[in-house]
Amino acid sequence: DIVMTQSPDSLAVSLGERATVNCKSSQSVLSSSSNKNYLAWYQQKPGQPPKLLIYWASTRESGVPDRFSGSGSGTDFTLTISSLQTEDVAVYYCQQHLSFPYTFGQGTNLEIK
C-alpha cells in the first residue's frame, strides 16, 4: 500500500495569513503513462462529509475559491490557502488514487490563531 503522511497534524494560522499543509507519499504517485500526479485534496468540516478541493495535485474543483492551490509532484505535495478565512477551519486530507487500495493521509486540523 502507498502510505500517505501529512504534516503538521495540526496548524493554527491567523485570519488573512497563509496556511500550508504538506503531504508525502511512500511511493511516487506520478503516472508515467499520463504524466499526471494522482493526488487529491479534501476538506472536511465537523459533522460533514469530505469535500473535494483539488485533483491531479493542482487542479481546483469547480466552485472552489482560488485562495486554495495545490502543488508538488512525485512524492511531495502541498496544499496552500493564500489568505485564511473563518470558513476554512476544517480537517484537510490528501488521497492518492494511483494504485489500489486508495489511501489517505491522517489529516491536518486547521484552526484560527
Partner 1 sequence: QVQLQESGPGLVKPSETLSLTCTVSGGSIISYYWSWFRQPPGKGLEWIGYIHYTGRTNYNPSLKSRVTVSVDTPKNQFSLKLSSVTTADTAVYYCARLNDHGWGDIWGQGTMVTVSS
Q: First and final CA of the chain: distance in angstroms?
A: 36
Supply the minimum distance, in Å, between the C-beta of residue 72 and partner 1.
16
Q: Which of residues 40-69 bind partner 1 (CB under 8 A)?
A: 40, 42, 48-52, 55-56, 61
Closest to partner 1 by CB, 15 or 57: 57
Q: Of 10-18, 20-28, 74-82, 104-112, which segment contacts partner 1 by CB under 8 A?
A: 104-112
Separation in Å, CA 41 to CA 49, 79, 99: 13, 8, 16
Starting at the earlier edge strand, list the strands of the sheet with 4-7: 4-7, 19-25, 76-81, 68-73
For the bound state, the minimum distance from the C-beta of residue 14 to partner 1, rounded and expressed in Å, comes to: 26
Smallest distance, partner 1 to C-beta of residue 80, A: 19
14-45 CB burial, b ≥16 within 10 A, e <16: eeeeebebbbbbeebbbeeeeebbbbbbbbee
# of chain residues touching partner 1 (CB under 8 A): 23
**Which residues are near partner 1 by CB under 8 A?**
38, 40, 42, 48-52, 55-56, 61, 93, 95, 97-98, 100-107
